């Protein structure tokens, strides 16, 4: 086993029904103020949870000990640890994940290409073809490619031997950087929704938006904000 970047953007992969060859579509409405589907919030929650797994110094210490002080081996153990925990989280999903379907996992291969892990096998895929071919929320694809771009950039800058021997701390930091980008992308879509729709949203939606990391505190001039947001959108 020489590859580390079996990116745990694979989190929902165990659910993945064969993906229909149908284009991705936005799940966060941009024209109407309908709340995003349950799955959109759940995806953010899962990504937050996985990122936390990469953020625990105690876990890293334990794994370094378990690897007998071999830092590169500890990185592999962290990879295994996160995949196992992510699979456990996957058993606790609350949304149906039928519509939208879950996105596949992605990884960045040693040639620095982004690969979609489909039920039919791995397929090298550009962002554009992923958006064209994968029947899921387009926001999930955009966010996953933002995550993989972190690995791709580092892959181009580092030689493969260096990368194979990368220690646990460097590995964890790289994954955290990936999840930070991925979450920022997902939250940006939600922020756009909230900026235009907070006034029309239910308390339940506000609660979900807040749990996803968006501030729902009313500013001092909520009405003028809502008006500004509407005029930006041109309606």
Residues in contact with Zn ion by CB under 5 A are: 7, 175, 178
User: Which of residues 19 and 154 has its CB atom nearest to Zn ion in the complex?
Assistant: 154
For the bound state, the minimum distance from the C-beta of residue 7 to Zn ion, rounded and expressed in Å, comes to 3
CB 181 within 8 A of CB 166: no
Please give the helix or strand (H or E) that residue 108 lies within, else none.
strand 105-108
User: Which of residues 71 and 180 has its CB atom nearest to Zn ion in the complex?
Assistant: 180
For the bound state, the minimum distance from the C-beta of residue 5 to Zn ion, rounded and expressed in Å, comes to 6
Rg (CA), the chain: 19
Query: Which of 64, 72, 60 minimizes the C-alpha distance to 162?
Result: 72
**Residue nearest to Zn ion as judged by C-beta position:** 7
User: Which of residues 172 and 209 has its CB atom nearest to Zn ion in the complex?
Assistant: 172
Say how many residues make up the chain: 235
User: Which of residues 142 and 175 has its CB atom nearest to Zn ion in the complex?
Assistant: 175
CB 211 within 8 A of CB 41: yes
CB 74 within 8 A of CB 66: yes
For the bound state, the minimum distance from the C-beta of residue 83 to Zn ion, rounded and expressed in Å, comes to 12
For the bound state, the minimum distance from the C-beta of residue 179 to Zn ion, rounded and expressed in Å, comes to 7
Query: Phi, psi (5° rounding) for residue 121?
Result: 125, 175
Question: Which residues does 92 contact at the CB level (< 8 Å), separation at least 6?
Answer: none
DSSP code, position 36: P
For the bound state, the minimum distance from the C-beta of residue 130 to Zn ion, rounded and expressed in Å, comes to 16
User: Which of residues 11 and 24 has its CB atom nearest to Zn ion in the complex?
Assistant: 11
User: Which of residues 177 and 229 has its CB atom nearest to Zn ion in the complex?
Assistant: 177
Residue 99 has a CB neighbour count (10 Å cut-off) of 10
| Dihedral angle computed from the Cα positions of residues 61, 63, 69 and 72, in that order, rounded to the nearest 10 degrees | -110
For the bound state, the minimum distance from the C-beta of residue 175 to Zn ion, rounded and expressed in Å, comes to 5
């Amino acid at each position: 086993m020489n590859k580390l970047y079996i990116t745990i953007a694979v989190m929902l992969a165990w659910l993945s029904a064969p993906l229909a060859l149908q284009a991705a579509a936005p799940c966060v409405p941009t024209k109407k103020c309908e709340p995003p589907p349950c799955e959109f919030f759940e995806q953010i929650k899962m990504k937050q949870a996985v990122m936390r797994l990469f953020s625990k110094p105690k876990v890293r210490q334990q794994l370094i000990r378990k690897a007998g002080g071999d830092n590169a081996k500890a990185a592999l153990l962290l990879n295994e640890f996160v995949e196992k925990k992510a699979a456990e989280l996957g058993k606790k999903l609350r949304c149906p994940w039928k519509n939208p379907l879950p996105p596949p996992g992605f990884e960045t291969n040693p040639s620095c290409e982004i690969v979609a892990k489909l039920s039919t096998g791995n397929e090298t895929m550009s962002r554009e073809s992923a958006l064209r071919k994968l029947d899921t929320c387009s926001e999930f694809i955009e966010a996953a490619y933002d995550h993989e771009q972190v690995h791709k950039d580092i892959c181009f800058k580092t030689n493969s031997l260096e990368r194979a021997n990368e220690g646990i701390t460097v590995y964890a930091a790289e994954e955290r950087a990936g999840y930070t980008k991925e979450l920022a992308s997902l939250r940006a879509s939600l922020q756009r929704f909230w900026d235009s729709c907070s006034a029309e949203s239910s308390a339940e939606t506000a609660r979900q938006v807040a749990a996803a990391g968006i501030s729902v505190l009313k500013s001092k001039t909520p009405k003028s904000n809502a008006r500004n947001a509407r005029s930006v959108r041109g309606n």
